[in-house]
């Protein structure tokens, strides 16, 4: 990320995220990413924390990071848990370039 490309904090629907950004894992689809994330032991730990603290802790700890290259740079577990739990939106940080790319899509 270019130092001049500041991050912008926004709320995005999960549907928007999976429509406009692809997983950072190579050429995987969101179905591939979901299957992989849901099989990880770490996901179980995150679920425990969501159950104990509520889903908002996820946004407080670290928003989903949407890259200027059309990929999710960080937040795959949060997105997959939101899909599974039918959570409508998540807080996201996106670069100025990513926000511009999204607006032009």
Q: CB-based burial of residue 6 (10 Å sphere; 0-12 exposed, 13-18 middle, 19+ buried)?
A: exposed
Q: CATH number of the domain at 7-103, out of 3.30.2000, 1.10.287, 3.90.1530, 2.60.120? A: 3.90.1530
pTM of the model as a whole: 0.80
Alpha carbons 41 and 91: distance in angstroms, whole number: 24
pLDDT, residue 60, reads: 64
Q: Which residues of the chain have pLDDT under 70?
A: 1-5, 57-61, 96-105
């Amino acid at each position: 990320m270019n130092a001049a490309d500041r991050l912008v904090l926004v709320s995005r629907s999960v549907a928007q995220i999976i429509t406009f950004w692809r997983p950072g894992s190579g050429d995987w689809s969101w179905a591939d990413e979901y299957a992989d994330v849901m099989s990880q032991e770490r996901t179980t730990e995150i679920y425990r924390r969501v159950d104990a603290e509520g889903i908002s802790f996820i946004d407080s700890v670290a928003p989903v990071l949407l890259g200027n290259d059309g990929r999710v740079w960080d937040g795959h577990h949060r997105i997959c848990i939101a899909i599974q739990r039918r959570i409508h939106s998540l807080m996201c940080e996106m670069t100025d370039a990513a926000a511009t790319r999204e607006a032009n899509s």
